[in-house]
Amino acid sequence: MGRNILFITTDQQRYDALGCNGGAIARTPVVDDLAAHGVRYERAYNQNTVCMPARSTMLTGQYVRTHGVVANGVALPDDAPSVAAYLHDVAGYRTALLGKAHFEPGFDLALQWPENFMAKRGLTGPYRGFEHAELAMHVPAVGKSPLQHYGRWLVDTHGIDATKGFSPLLAAEPGGDTNAPETRINPIPRDWYHTDWVADRTLAYLDSLPDDADWFVWMSFPDPHHPWDPPASELHRCNWRDLDLPPGHPGSPDAIERVLAQKPAHWRALWDGTWVNVEGGSASYRPQKVSDDSLREINAMTHIMNELIDEACGRVLARVAQRGWSDDTDVVFTTDHGELQGDYGLIFKGPFHVDSLMRLPMVWRPAPSARVAPAVVTEPVGQLDLAPTFCEIAGVPVPDWMQGAALPTAPGSGRERVLCEWDSQFPGYGMHLRSIYRDGWLCTVYERSTVGEPNGLEDFFASTGLFGGGIGPVSSIEYDGTEGELYDVASDPHQFANRWEDPGCASLRRDLVADLYDSLPKDRTVLKVDRPA
């Protein structure tokens, strides 16, 4: 028997969500204990700041420009490489994915892609190298149509009324105590909620395995991604009225405007309401309509969701121990991207290359039998390093198609940089960002906008009439390729002071930009955008 791998991911979880990373509100003792007995990465970054590209990188071990899922709404090709398939075929691992996948568009009421038709057809795999897959999204249904395995289970077991407590996804519908967008007091019982469902299905899968199996299980929680609507029975955990505004909030509207005025134009325009963040949030979201109390309530709901995830992880780890697997099981915990969550007075995600969205919680507790000493690693690492790490754990060679390297288990690896990219999914937006973190500096280049250039999504708009057809919504901001952002993250942890135009940083900026483009893969796959999300 080799080493088992429990890969745990959340969705849209900030670095500071965990106690081990300085979080002071949500109680996360289970993951904190993994960090105390394993390796905690202080500078883990994603390779894209929204779900589908980031998740495709975790599955393939490739840069976004290589696997081609450059934005939400781009389906990962059926023949894309998969670390799950590699571990299954080469190392003989049993493989399963329980929870959120999102390698294919979720806006798929025609059920074109397997993620969306599997549950309706009664299928649980195989899927992208996973022998077994039971999937969940953030909401269980659209109207009376169940979504994926979780939605079908909830409706079949408890009836359609059980879905009605969830806030609609991407509608910015006001709710909760403060009329916060995508927030609701959800009457659903805790054990019907998708966090516990994901843990339950993981437990059921593990229970189906023989004691001597080698397994790779990806347990993927949809939370704490919006909508913010955890079970009402759990709201006692964190009262929004007791919260301060988050540390990344400048403190007042005037202070927000001063900070955003230093950044490229879409930042301030989003705050002003003259630019709409259709690619990372609801098209109807307007920041100035979201009160400070609403930000507090969103944060409280998020802390509650994080606590429920931690407790669900504890239940699964307890079963691993009961089965006698603990000594030979590696546990890796991370997320796909962060959340603004009140930083700069903003919420959601999108083309905002700052630590709020790019810096990830990442913990690897190697199997105790491997005898790896606990450590904190400050050198930069990325999501594309996860797949090679799984290969190292399984004792198989890292295939040539993976572009990362196994995560270091101690300081002193010599790693210097990590990269992140953004390309718009909406042809009418056409934004392209390239970022490098190196030597404590975060540098982002804004390439020339391609507003109006077709990318495939216009075909969907034309066929459905969504957004009036044509190319869809058009950005009020267009960049000429000279703009950018440059931050000293040590002295400016919230990235308030943009040093891009600082003459004293000109040489550093040139060096970082050159390093960025020297380090990006030269070949680039461009795939059609199929759906809005």
Give per-residue pLDDT as tens, 365-378.
999 999 999 999 99
Helices 29-36 and 292-322: angle between axes, nearest 10 degrees = 60
> Which pLDDT does position 55 carry in this prediction?
98
Structure confidence at residue 74 as a pLDDT band (50, 70, 90): very high
> Which pLDDT does position 76 carry in this prediction?
98
| Over residues 109-128, mean pLDDT | 96
Structure confidence at residue 467 as a pLDDT band (50, 70, 90): confident
> Which pLDDT does position 170 carry in this prediction?
86
What are the residue ranges spanned by the domains of the chain? 4-519
Q: What is the pTM of this model?
A: 0.98
Q: What angle do CA 497, 501, 504 make, to 5 degrees?
A: 90
Residue 449 pLDDT exceeds 80: yes
Q: What angle do CA 25, 345, 236 make, to 5 degrees?
A: 30
Structure confidence at residue 510 as a pLDDT band (50, 70, 90): very high
Residue in 518, 521, 340, 522 with CA at minimum distance from that of residue 438: 518
Give per-residue pLDDT as tens, 409-433.
999 999 999 999 999 999 999 999 9
Q: Mean pLDDT check: name the lowest of 100-109, 131-140, 353-362, 499-508.
A: 100-109
375 in helix, strand or coil?
A: strand
Q: What angle do CA 121, 124, 127 make, to 5 degrees?
A: 105
Q: Which residues contact 170 (CB under 8 A, 6 or more apart)?
A: 182, 281, 282, 283, 533
Token output for 184: 């609701």
Number of Cβ within a 10 Å radius of residue 456:
16
Residue 1 pLDDT exceeds 90: no
| Over residues 42-62, mean pLDDT | 98
> Which pLDDT does position 171 carry in this prediction?
87
> Which pLDDT does position 29 carry in this prediction?
98
User: Percent of the chain, pLDDT > 90?
Assistant: 97
Token output for 438: 């190196």
> Which pLDDT does position 109 carry in this prediction?
85
User: Percent of the chain, pLDDT > 70?
Assistant: 100
Its CATH class, for the domain covering 4-519, is alpha beta
Widest pairwise Cα distance in the chain: 64
Q: Round the average pLDDT of the chain to a whole number and report it.
A: 97
Order of all β-strands in the sheet with 432-438: 417-423, 432-438, 441-446, 484-488
8 Å CB contact between 11 and 221: yes
> Which pLDDT does position 494 carry in this prediction?
98
Rounded to whole angstroms, how far apart are CA atoms 240 and 28? 18
Rounded to whole angstroms, how far apart are CA atoms 476 and 268? 12
> Which pLDDT does position 107 carry in this prediction?
84
Give per-residue pLDDT as tens, 258-293.
999 999 999 999 999 999 999 999 999 999 999 999
> Which pLDDT does position 68 carry in this prediction?
98
> Which pLDDT does position 523 carry in this prediction?
95
Rounded to whole angstroms, how far apart are CA atoms 59 and 67? 10
Q: Mean pLDDT check: name the lowest of 91-95, 170-174, 224-228.
A: 170-174
| Over residues 478-486, mean pLDDT | 98
- Residue 284 CA: distances (Å) to CA of 174, 178, 260, 278: 11, 17, 21, 8
> Which pLDDT does position 24 carry in this prediction?
97
Residue 60 pLDDT exceeds 90: yes
> Which pLDDT does position 162 carry in this prediction?
97
